[in-house]
Amino acid sequence: MEFQRNKTMLLAMATSPHLKLVLLAILLASFRQAMAAPPPSLLEEHAGALLAWKATIQSPPAQLQSWGNTTTRPCGWYGIKCGQHRARRQEVVITEIFLRGLRLRARLDALNFTVLHTLTSIRLPFNQIRGPFPPALASSLPNLRHLLLQGNKISGEIPWQIKHLESLVGLVLSENHFFGHIPIEVGYLKKLTRLDFSSSNLTGTIPRSLGNCTKLTILYLDGNQLSGLLPQELGYLVRLQELALSSNKLMGSIPNTLESLINLIRLYLWDNQLSGHIPRELGSLVTLQKLELSGNKLIGPIPNTFGNLTKLTTLHLFDNQLSGHVPRELGYMVNLEELELSENKLMGSIPNTFGYLTNLITLYLSYNQLSMLVPRELGSMVNIESLDLSDNKLMGSIPNSFGNLTKLIVLYLGGNQFSGHVPPEIGSLMDLIDLQFYSNNLFGALPPNLCVGGMLETLAAFDNNLNGPLPSSLASCRSLVRVRLQRNQIEGDISEMGLYPNMVYMDMSSNKLFGQLSYHWGGGMS
């Protein structure tokens, strides 16, 4: 109709038959060209949406130079992948955006997700994306399977519209600036296998609806300000391999429904306000490799069922109010590398079954009420690097079998009731850096070969009954940083001590020393 109107007007304006023929030819050519131009394809619309978003990015990185001015070939652009349209197999569309760690100073709400409705994957981790989580992202992308936005500066609430992303398999929003609750609508995402909201300032309770996400293998909610009880419904997530709820404000007891998580490999509940007993049922999670419950208010005994956890490499129970004896069954966890039970109310003896823990690297038992003798079997822990038995009520002699612990770097024995001599075998530990056995009842001379490995930095043996001369080996121990030998009966000429370029603190007061020490170090002498 428009063509006909224009033709009539132009022909009426023409003053000669020849001019009319020329104008008619031009109009016919324009009509054919208009009829031949197809409407823009989906791919061109998608490219246009990306170019419009790029125009809003502050100082776009060099990688986006490939996003040209043309809208016809976006499948070769950096971070862009294409595929066939699910409904129209012959049509190519943009399906993935993957721009990791480019420091993009952009906003999500500047990207037209309504146009980009064919996306199956959005991966924009570790950038500088600001602004809110746009509801349009959640409501416009029915085929989205992966949404990875971790390590950005996205703020505001997670919108309830997130329930529309029913195809999601992976949802990672960690390390952002969200606030508010975790929407209960997340429980609609029943295809999720990975959910990570860690370190995102979230508050409120853990939604019970998460129990509907039964395909989850990874659930990270740690590093937030979540409060309330642990939902019993977490026990429905029987495919879970990793559950991290640490560094929150969770309270109440650990639900015994967690015994259903038979595929669990890592369980992190540390740094909360959990109380009550540790459920014996956790001993049935035989696939566990890491169990961390430290920094809570847990009471009662350590379950002896933990002896079933033979794949465990890490057991952290420190900083609680646990009581009773240390179960000998812990010695059956022969793959343990880290065993930390400090800052509890444990009593009785150290089990001699700990000699079976030959893979142990760290053993921390300090600040308890352990008593009796230290079993010589601890000398079988040949891979141990840090051994802390300080501030207990341990008595008797220090086992000379400690000389077998040739990988020891740290040995803390202070604040006990040890008596007898310091075993000379300790002086032969070549890698020893920190040696402390202060506040005991030890007597006799210090081992003559102390610091023979040339690594010793800290020596704390104050408040004992040590006597005899200073070991001559200390004179050449240039690695020393701190020496505390005060309040003993050590004898000799202190002027024979060497030069210590790294020394920052030395206290040898209240002994039977004479002479004057040269001040050739970075600190001073007390």
pLDDT digits (tens, 9 = 90+) for 171-181: 999 999 999 99
Least confident of 42-46, 143-147, 166-170, 235-239: 42-46
pLDDT score of 496: 79
Q: What is the mean pLDDT of residues 206-232?
A: 98
Q: Which residue type sits at 274?
A: L
pLDDT tens, position by position, 444-470: 999 999 998 899 999 999 999 999 999
How much is the pLDDT for 91?
86
Q: Can you tell me the distance from the alpha carbon of 473 to that of 430, in angstroms, rounded to the nearest whole number?
A: 13
Q: Who wins on pLDDT, 5 or 483?
A: 483
Q: For 522, how many CA atoms within 13 A lie in the half-sphere containing its CB? A: 9
Residue 325 contacts residue 298 (beta carbons within 8 Å): no
> What is the full DSSP assignment across 147-158?
EE--SSEEEEPP
Q: What pLDDT, on a 0 to 100 scale, did the predictor assign at position 16? A: 57
pLDDT band at 36; cut points 50, 70, 90: very low
Instruction: Give the residue carrying structure tokens 């009593």.
Output: 347
Looking at residue 18, its pLDDT comes to 56
Segment 326-352, tens digit of pLDDT: 999 999 999 999 999 999 999 999 999
Query: How far is the C-alpha of 515 from the C-alpha of 508, rounded, in Å?
Result: 12
pLDDT of residue 322: 98
Dist. CA 251–CA 273, nearest whole Å: 5
At 160, list the tokens: 């309830």
Strand partners, 297: 275
Cα 318 from Cα 338, distance rounded (Å): 12
**pLDDT attached to residue 20:** 52
- Within 8 A by CB and 6+ apart from 19, the residues are none
Note whether 255 and 234 are within 8 A (CB). yes
Give me the pLDDT at residue 39, please.
Answer: 54
pLDDT score of 521 more than 80: no
Residues 6+ apart with CB under 8 A from 417: 393, 394, 395, 440, 441
- Where does the pLDDT of residue 435 fall: very low under 50, low under 70, confident under 90, or very high at 90 and above? very high
Spatial distance between the Cα atoms of 329 and 331, rounded to a whole number of angstroms: 5
pLDDT over 60 (residue 187): yes
pLDDT at 88: 65
Residue owning tokens 């991966």: 123
Token pair 């966890």 in the structure block, residue: 333
What mean pLDDT is reported for the chain?
91
Q: Cα–Cα distance between 168 and 199 in angstroms, integer? A: 21
391: pLDDT strictly greater than 80: yes
pLDDT digits (tens, 9 = 90+) for 270-329: 999 999 999 999 999 999 999 999 999 999 999 999 999 999 999 999 999 999 999 999
Segment 67-111, tens digit of pLDDT: 986 656 899 999 999 998 766 667 899 999 999 999 999 999 999
The model carries a pTM of 0.89
Close Cβ partners of 282 (under 8 Å, ≥ 6 residues apart)? 254, 258, 259, 267, 288, 291, 303, 305, 306
| Cα dihedral sign, 513-515-520-526 | positive
pLDDT at 245 over 80: yes
DSSP element (H, E) containing 52: helix 42-54
DSSP state of 11: H
C-alpha triplet 479, 485, 487: angle, nearest 5°: 170
d(CA 50, CA 115): 10
What is the reported pLDDT for 519?
53
Quick one: what percent of the chain has pLDDT higher than 70?
89
**What local confidence, expressed as pLDDT, does residue 1 receive?**
45
Residue by residue, DSSP assigns 117-157 as TT--EEE--SS--EEE--HHHHHH-TT--EEE--SSEEEEP
53: enclosing H helix or E strand: helix 42-54
Taking only the tens place, the pLDDT of each residue in 126-137 is 999 999 999 999
Buried/exposed 455-485: b ≥16 CB within 10 Å, e otherwise: ebbbbbbbbbebebebbebbeebebbbbbbb
d(CA 190, CA 179): 24
Position 38 confidence tier, pLDDT thresholds 50, 70, 90: very low
Q: How is residue 74 written in tokens?
A: 């976006």
- Between these two residues, 1 and 458, which has the higher pLDDT value? 458
Give the pLDDT of residue 70. Answer: 62
